[in-house]
Structure 1
Amino acid sequence: MLLAACGSKTEEAGGAGDRRPPQLVAAMAVPMEDYAPTLVALGTVTPRQSVAVRPRADGQIDSIAFAEGDYVRAGQVLFRLDPRQAQAALAQARAQLASAVATEVQARADFERAEALVGKGFISGTVLDQRRAAAEGARAQIASARAQVNNAETQLSFLTVTAPISGRTGELQQRLGANVRQGDAALVTINQLSPIHVRFLVPAADIAAARAVLRQGGGRVVAKTQVGGEILATGKLVFLDNNVDPGNGGVTARAEFANQGDALWPGAVVNVELPLAAPTPHLTVPEGAVQTGRDAPFVWAVSTTAAAAAPKTDAGAAAGAARGAGATVQMRDVIVAGRLGGKVYLSSGIKAGDQVVVDALARLKDGDAVRLKRPGDAQNAAQIAGRAGAPPPTAPAGAAG
């Protein structure tokens, strides 16, 4: 019996020696916050209209009436080409019109005289028919000459190149004095910046929800910077492509922004956020508090059993429990409703008010004893966990897990 007792004491001593010391961790109470399932994607800014201004006639550039990068309005003069040859052609056409008018006057007078003489028998009916044909031919020559004048005026107008749309000009492709030909490469490109579009991809899982948003007026789309998440502009969904991309199963979407102040610039890549449903309350934890498990994501929940076991009269024990004395951690599987802005919104797995660990997660094991940091330190740790764990916006936030 003595040997058995000694053996029992030795085992107890060995078990105490193997027990892990309490880990110092930061924890926070889980709040409820409103969350709407949100599509988060990368978008590319594209102009609503982009027009390459090309010459419609041959000529030498005589003048350029704008500077590169200027904002121009539709109809504003951009280039003037050498007009001398076109002006000469117009003068020639007008002269031919005047000649045709004079010929018609003479032919009409001859026909009128023939009409008066044929009744008196001085000329035959054949001559009258000839005079009538000559008068009608003269009238046709006037119509042809007028068409030539219109054509010459049109060709002359092509030598003054105007802006087809309002927008901002790009780099000049032809300089003063250059000879250009009809249909040559663009002289300059104009991009319409207000309103402006952002193109992005809607994953297959969110197509139905995005279509519902479009039917209801387009919702509220937010464009943010990739670094810092600063809001650049807010707009609405205006377009979903009519075909699913077989390569990725998604649909191309386009959002429109008023773009006052040109905050969005063509070619820029921005983060796009599109709420897909009305917001509802969800359990909210920092991104870094959610770990990836073998079967499901999980959090470390703090269990302070000492507080429940301490008598109400034992104020010291209750205070110690509040500071984490006798606390342990438990692995809790959770269901993720979405991720947005460094936060994870949970559907289930924990309850509002539960304490979850927000730092020192890698050192923990299920059932470990822990000591909690002061509230101020815990708050700082939660903020750091939210910033450090924020994922890149390449997938819809509404996907569970």
Structure 2
Amino acid sequence: MFPATSRRFVQAVGLVTVLLSLSACSTKKEKPKAKPAVPVAVATAARKDVPVQLKAIGNIEPFNSVAIKSQVNGQIAKVHFKDGSDVQQGALLVTLQPESFQAALNQSEAALARDLAQARFAREQAERYRQLVAEGIVTKDQYDQLRTNAESAAAAVAADRAAIANARIQLNYCYIRSPISGRTGNLSLQLGNLVKANDLTLVTVNQISPIYATFSIPERSLPEVKKAMAERALKIEAIVPNDPNGKETGTISFLDNAVNAATGTIRLKGVFANADRKLWPGQFVDVVMTLGLRRDAVVVPTQAVQVGQQGQYVYVVKPDKTAEMRPVTVAAEQGGESIIEKGVAPGETVVVSGQLRLTPGAKVELPSSQKGTEKRP
């Protein structure tokens, strides 16, 4: 009996020992595995002079635009230009049937010749009677009557001359000329059609060299623009989208006299030589206005700047190859670069790709081509 009791005791002690060993093993904490380094692309913050620019969407307008209309009633006898062609100032565009106007001019000239003869006779007769009145042969009333007739005839001559001048003007209106040099549009009425005075526009001529670009900027930018305009002629660039050669340089020629209260913007206009005719009326362009130069500015690639709940930030790669989240203040963005006003020093390395996988303090892995670019202490 004693031996059986001893066996059970030994078995109980062994079971307790095993349970204590298992309990001790379960309380031991496993060491956390190290997180792998996050592959990223980086760039170095640089210090350089950056132009201060304003950008806007502009609309191209002709330097001058004239709607050509007939000033007399008539029938189109001849068209002297092709639609969409270049014309010079004074070039003949359309001729109306001139016969009726030529006849009116001839009639006025004939009336002048008749009245000149009558005026000459009346003047000579009045002169004879003036001498007879002095001699007492005729009465003064007779002389006054003849003198009045002479003056009336002279007035008729003046009226005839005015009628001739008007007839010549009307005849000249049959020959419709371009008042400016430019490019014609589409002719609305063709050969043989009747036109009325000051009715339909026959054709529109646009002057496109030089040419205008009209655009608007926020009113908060007005003080900078006014200051820059007071110092010098403000340069402006018009860039045609999707055209690598569609860039033209000009100057600001107009600043509106009031801010649009509905939109909070103010209208400006730039003038361009447009010698190569890269700009075309009605076209939309990207307008870049250079106000000045920001010297020794700190710049980073724009893709390095991220936006979080606390505002804008960048990830800076420290010498131990860990990422530091750094709040930044961005002054402006242009040309794919952000001007950093506060938060990053020149020479520091910032992450430009792979930020979504980063957390503050995370290890980073640089591409082999960029290893060694991080700032050394």
TM norm. shorter chain > 0.5: yes
Q: After TM superposition, give the deviation of residue 6 of structure 1 in Å.
A: 6.0
**In the aligned structure 1, how far is the partner of 2:370 from the partner of 2:79?**
65
CA shift, 1:376, in A, is: 6.4
Q: 1:376 to 1:95 in 2, by over 3 A?
A: farther
Contact 2:42 2:370 in 1 (8 A): no
Say whether the 8 Å CA contact 1:75–1:162 is kept in structure 2. Answer: yes
Cross-structure match for 1:373? 367
Tell me which residue corresponds to 2:261: 246
Given candidates 185, 193, 206, the residue that maps to 2:221 is 206
Query: Does residue 72 of structure 1 match 2:87?
Result: yes
Q: Indicate yes or no: 2:165 matched with 1:150.
A: yes
**Residues 315 and 325, structure 2, Cα contact 8 Å, conserved in 1:** yes
1:325-346 Cα distance to aligned partner (Å, 9 max, x none)? xx11111111111111221111
Q: Does the residue aligned with 1:44 lie in a helix, a strand or coil? A: strand
Flag the structure with higher strand content: 2
For residues 180-259 of structure 1, what are the structure 2 equivalents within 5 Å?
Answer: 180-227=195-242, 232-259=247-274
Query: How far apart are 1:228 and its partner, in Å?
Result: 6.4
Q: Secondary structure at the match of 1:101?
A: helix
Query: Is the CA contact 1:58–1:180 (under 8 Å) kept in the aligned structure 2?
Result: yes
Aligned runs of 1:2-401 on 2, under 5 Å?
10-11=29-30, 13=31, 15-16=32-33, 19-227=34-242, 232-305=247-320, 327-375=321-369
Q: Deviations over 1:38-68 (max 9, x none)?
A: 1111111111111111111111111111111
**Which AA in structure 1 matches 2:352?**
V
Post-superposition offset of 1:378: 11
- Letter of the 2:142 partner, please give it: V
1:222·1:231 contact (CA, 8 Å) conserved in 2? no
5+ unaligned residues in a row in structure 1: which ranges?
306-326, 380-401
The C-alpha deviation readout for 1:339-376, integer Å capped at 9, x for no partner, is 11221111121111111111112221111111001236
**Partners of 1:372 and 1:9 in 2: CA distance:** 36
Instruction: Please give the TM-score of this superposition, normalised by the length of structure 2.
Output: 0.89
SS in 1 for 2:259: coil
The residue identity in structure 2 corresponding to 1:346 is I
SS state at 2:353 partner: coil
Contact (CA 8 Å) 1:28, 1:378: kept in 2 or not?
Answer: no
Partner of 2:113, secondary structure, is helix
230-239 or 43-52, which moves further after superposition?
230-239
Cα distance in structure 2, aligned partners of 1:151 and 1:377: 88
The answer (yes or no) to whether the contact 2:214–2:268 under 8 Å persists in 1 is yes
User: C-alpha distance in 2, partners of 1:373/1:228?
Assistant: 35
- Change in CA separation of 1:8 and 1:50 when aligned onto 2, cut-off 3 Å: farther
Q: Distance in 1 between matches of 2:370 and 2:75?
A: 74
Aligned-partner residue type, residue 185 of structure 2: G
Between the aligned partners of 2:60 and 2:106, the Cα distance in structure 1 is 49
- Cα distance in 2 for residues equivalent to 1:257 and 1:250: 23
For residues 376 and 50 of structure 1, do their structure 2 counterparts lie closer, same or farther at Cα, with a shift above 3 Å needed?
farther
Q: Number of aligned pairs? A: 354
Deviations 1:8-44 (A, max 9, x none): 8524x1x22xx43111111111112221221111111
Whether contact under 8 Å (2:183, 2:208) holds in the other structure is yes
Check 1:217–1:299 CA distance in 2 against 1; reply closer, same or farther (3 A cut): same
Counterpart of 2:361 in structure 1: which amino acid?
G
Q: Take 2:159 and 2:249, find their aligned partners in 1: how far apart are those partners?
A: 57
C-alpha change, 1:131 and 1:329, in structure 2 (3 Å) is same
CA–CA distance in 2 between the matches of 1:219 and 1:349? 32
Provide the identity percentage: 35
Q: Which has the larger radius of gyration?
A: 2
1:170-229 Cα offsets, whole Å, 9 max, x none, are 111111111101111211111111111111111111011111222233321111122367
Mark the runs of 5 or more structure 2 residues left unpaired by the alignment.
1-20
Separation of aligned partners in 2, 1:111 and 1:377: 116
Query: Which digits, 9 at most, give the CA deviation of each residue in 1:109-136, with x for residues without a partner?
Result: 1112212222333211111111111111
Q: Distance in 2 between matches of 1:229 and 1:283?
A: 29
Task: Indicate the SS of the match to 2:292.
Answer: coil
Change (3 A) 1:197 1:378: farther
Q: Residues 218 and 113 of structure 1: is their aligned pair in 2 closer, same or farther, counting only changes over 3 Å?
A: same
Partners of 2:48 and 2:298 within 8 A in 1: yes
Letter in structure 1 aligned against 2:344: I
Counterpart of 1:323?
A: none
- Does the CA-based 8 Å contact 1:30-1:351 persist in structure 2? yes
Whole-Å separation in 1 of the counterparts to 2:148 and 2:22? 145
Q: In the TM superposition, what is the alpha-carbon distance from 1:3 to its structure 2 partner? A: 9.8
What is the letter of the counterpart of residue 10 of structure 1? K
